[in-house]
Amino acid sequence: MARIIVLDKYTADQIAAGEVVERPSSVVKELVENAIDAGARRIAIDIEDGGLSVITVSDDGCGIEEEDLELAFQRHATSKITSTGDLACICTLGFRGEALPSIAAVSKLTVTTRTHDAMTGTQAQIEGGALVAMAPAGAPPGTSVTVKELFYNTPARRKTMKSPATEASLCGELISRLALARPDIRYEMRAKGRDVFYSAGSGRLADAATAVYGAAMAREMIPLDFTEEGIAISGLVGKPSISRSTRSHITLVINGRYVRCTPVTAAVEAAYQTLLPQGRKPVVILSLDIPPERLDVNVHPAKLEVRLLEEGKMAALVKRALLEALRTKAIIPSAASATHRKYQSGLVMPQFDTPIRQERFSGLVQSQSGAQIIPESKNSPDVTSTTPQPYGQLSESRFAGAEEEPAGYDNQAVPFPELQPLAQLPPLYILAAGEDGLYIIDQHAAHERVLYEDFLAGQNSAQSQCLLGPVTLELDYREAALLTERILWFTEAGFIIEHFGGNTFLLRGVPSRFPAGQEKTIFFDLLDYFREKGNDSSRTEFFDVLAASLACKNAVKSGEKLTLTAMEALLRSLSGKANPFTCPHGRPAVIKITYRDLATRFKR
C-alpha cells in the first residue's frame, strides 16, 4: 500500500467541486440560493449552450463587502453560521461555504458586487480556483456572477454532460421549483437571449403555479392550509383529474428550501391512494414550516435532501392535511371512473358495470374470409345514440380486421392454442375451451396486446386525425424544451402540433384511433417519459410507450359485456400476435387449467 499523503489544494478542490457541482443546473441552484439568502427580490438567470458556455445570475440583494469578496472564495468561508451550535437552527439555504469555491475551481468566474451603501462596486476574476484580478467597478446594488466554460479543466466531467437543450431544460425545471418554493421573489430566465420563464414575485403561490404549469392546471389545484403541533403545512393540492404518470410534479418545500424527502413523498402518494388509478401520481406543491431543531439539513453536499427527526409523525400529519383538503373541497369523480372500480371478494357476485354502447361498435366488419357481415340488429340505434345495448347484442367489429398484418412490421406469431369461447365471467374474464384444458383470458389485457402490436405494425405509415378544435397545451420550460427537441418523433407518430407562443402549444391532430378525451393525458405521459429518460430515450422506445398507452386507453374495460361472436374475434386476433400471452405491461393475458388439474381437484 502507498504511503499516506496530504493532497495538494488543487486536487482537493477538484474533488470537492465534483461533489457539489454535478452539472450546470447545480451551479444555477447554488448561485440562486445565495441570492435568496442575500435578500434578493428579483433574480435574473441567463444561460448559453445549456449553461456549459455561460451562466449569469444577477440579483438585487445586499451585495458583498469589498474586503470580504476574496474571502468568499475560500473553502468553508461563510457568513451564515459561526459555530456548531448554529447547525441545529439553520434558517438559510446555504451554510457550508463550499458553493463559490467549488464553482470557481471548475470554471472561469467573474463576480461583480456592490452593497447598497457603497458608492462603487468591486469585480473579481477567478480561473480554476485562483484569483486573477480584483478591481473597482461600476455596478448596481446587488451581485452578478458569470460562470464561463464550465468544466473546462475537467474534460471527463464535461464529456458526461447531456445535450445543451437537455441541460437547459434541467436548469429551467430547477428555476420552476425555486419559484414554487419562494413565490415572493421574481425570477426571470433567458436562454440564448430568449425569455423562457418569468414569475411575478407577487407572493401568491397560485401565481407561481400559473407561471410554472399554466392557468388551466393551476385552476385545478386546491389551496391547503393546515397547522398542528407547531408544524404548518400549506400549498396547492391537485385534483385527481390532473394526475401524471411520474412523481415529477410533486414539489416539496421545507422551510423555504426545495428538497427531496422520501417519507413525505410517500405520505403524499398514500393520501391519493384511493383517488387515482394505479400508476398515476398526483400534482402537489407542498410547503412545510418545521422548527429547525426538528430536522437535519446537513446530510447532502448539495443540500437536496433533509432528514426529519420524527419521520413517522411528520408523514402522518402530511397525509391527514392532504386528506382534509381533498375531502372538504368535495371532489366529485366523473362517471367514467366507475370502470376502474376494484371488486372485493365476498358473498355477492360481481356484476357488469358498463354495458357497451352501440356507437362504439357501429359499422360493417370483415370476417376472416373477407365477406361483409350485416349489422346484428335491425333496430340498432344510430351512432349518436347513448342507449345501452342489452347483454348479448355486441358486435365483433371492435376486434375484426386486427388479424390482418399491415406491411412493414415483422409480427411473427407464436403458436397459440385453438380456443372455443364458452362464456364471460363477470366482470373481466373470458372462459374458453382448448384441447388440453380450460383457458381464462383477461379481456382487457388481451385486447391491449392486440391493439399494441397493431399500432407498432402501422407506425411506418402513421395517419393523423384532426381534432374538431385545438387542445391548448400549457407547458413548463422543461416540457417545452423536451417537446421542441423531439418534435419530429411526435410528427412521425401522427401528432399535429403548432407553437402558439412562449411555452404554449396547440394540439391540432392526433394519431388515428386515438381515444377521445385522452389527448392531454397521453401527451403529458409521453413528455413525462422524456423527462425520465432524457438522452437515453430512443425512437423505438418512444413508439413502444405511445403504443402501450393508446392500447390501454382503447381496450375493452372490466365490466364491459361481449357476445360470443366478439369473443371469437378477439381470440382470433390474439392468436396472430407475436406475444399473445401478456399485455404490453407484462401482466398475464391468458392462464390455463389443464384437464389433469381439474381431475385432481375433483379427486378423479
Q: Provide φ and ψ at 98, rounded to 5°.
A: -110, -20
- pLDDT for the residue 366: 36
- pLDDT for the residue 52: 93
Distance CA 211, CA 338 (A): 34
Helix, strand and coil content of the chain, in percent to the nearest 5, comes to 35, 25, 40
Helical (H) or strand (E) element with 456: helix 443-457
- pLDDT for the residue 373: 30
For residue 118, CA distances in Å to 72, 141, 263 come to 18, 8, 47
DSSP 435: T
Distance CA 274, CA 337 (A): 12
- pLDDT for the residue 229: 84
- Quick check: 180 and 212 in contact, CB under 8 A? yes
Give CA torsion, residues 23, 28, 31, 33, to 10 deg: -110
The set of long-range contacts for 465-468, using a CB threshold of 8 Å and a minimum separation of 24, is 465/494, 465/509, 465/510, 465/511, 465/512, 465/514, 466/496, 466/508, 466/509, 467/507, 467/508, 467/509, 467/510, 467/519
Query: Check: CATH 3.30.230.10 for 220-331?
Result: yes
For residue 572, CA distances in Å to 212, 397, 558 come to 48, 13, 20
- pLDDT for the residue 431: 93
Give the distance, in angstroms, between the CA of residue 248 and the centroid of all CA atoms in the same chain: 4
Widest CA span of the chain, in angstroms? 101
Q: Provide φ and ψ at 550, rounded to 5°.
A: -65, -40
Residue 89: how many other CB atoms lie within 10 Å: 10
Give the pLDDT confidence of 227-255 residue by residue, as tens digits: 998 899 999 999 888 888 889 899 999 99
- Grid cell 388509478 is found at 277
Question: Which CATH number among 3.40.1080.10, 3.40.30.10, 3.30.565.10, 3.50.50.60 corresponds to the domain 9-202?
Answer: 3.30.565.10
Which residues pair with residue 284 across a beta bridge? 237, 250
Instruction: Select from 222, 191, 216 the least CA-distant residue to 285.
Output: 222
- pLDDT for the residue 328: 64
Residue 315: how many other CB atoms lie within 10 Å: 20
Query: Check: CATH 3.30.1540.20 for 391-604?
Result: yes
Give CA torsion, residues 505, 508, 509, 514, to 10 deg: 80
- pLDDT for the residue 462: 66
For residue 321, CA distances in Å to 264, 268, 317, 366 come to 12, 10, 6, 56
- Enter the C-alpha cell of residue 363: 359499422
DSSP 483-535: HHHTHHHHHHHT-EEEEEETTEEEEEEEETTPPTT-HHHHHHHHHHHHHHHGG
Strand order in the sheet with 429-434: 420-425, 429-434, 437-442, 590-594
Instruction: Select from 534, 536, 537 the least CA-distant residue to 169.
Output: 534
- pLDDT for the residue 160: 86
DSSP 184-239: TSEEEEEETTEEEEE----S-HHHHHHHHH-HHHHHTEEEEEEEETTEEEEEEEE-
Give the pLDDT confidence of 41-58 residue by residue, as tens digits: 999 999 999 999 999 999
- What is the Rg, in whole angstroms, of the alpha carbon atoms belonging to the chain? 30
Distance CA 293, CA 447 (A): 55
Q: Taking phi first (over 0 means left), then psi (-120 to 50 degrees means alpha), and beta for anything else, what does residue 559 get?
A: left
- Quick check: 467 and 508 in contact, CB under 8 A? yes
Q: Which residues contact 68 (CB under 8 A, 6 or more apart)?
A: 79
- pLDDT for the residue 88: 60
What residue spans define the domains of the chain?
Answer: 9-202, 220-331, 391-604
Tally DSSP H helices, then E strands, for the chain.
17, 24
Distance CA 253, CA 232 (A): 12
Distance CA 454, CA 574 (A): 11
- Quick check: 494 and 543 in contact, CB under 8 A? no
- pLDDT for the residue 56: 96
Please list the ranges in the chain whose pLDDT falls under 70. 1, 7, 10, 12-19, 79-90, 94-97, 274, 298-303, 328-414, 459-462, 535
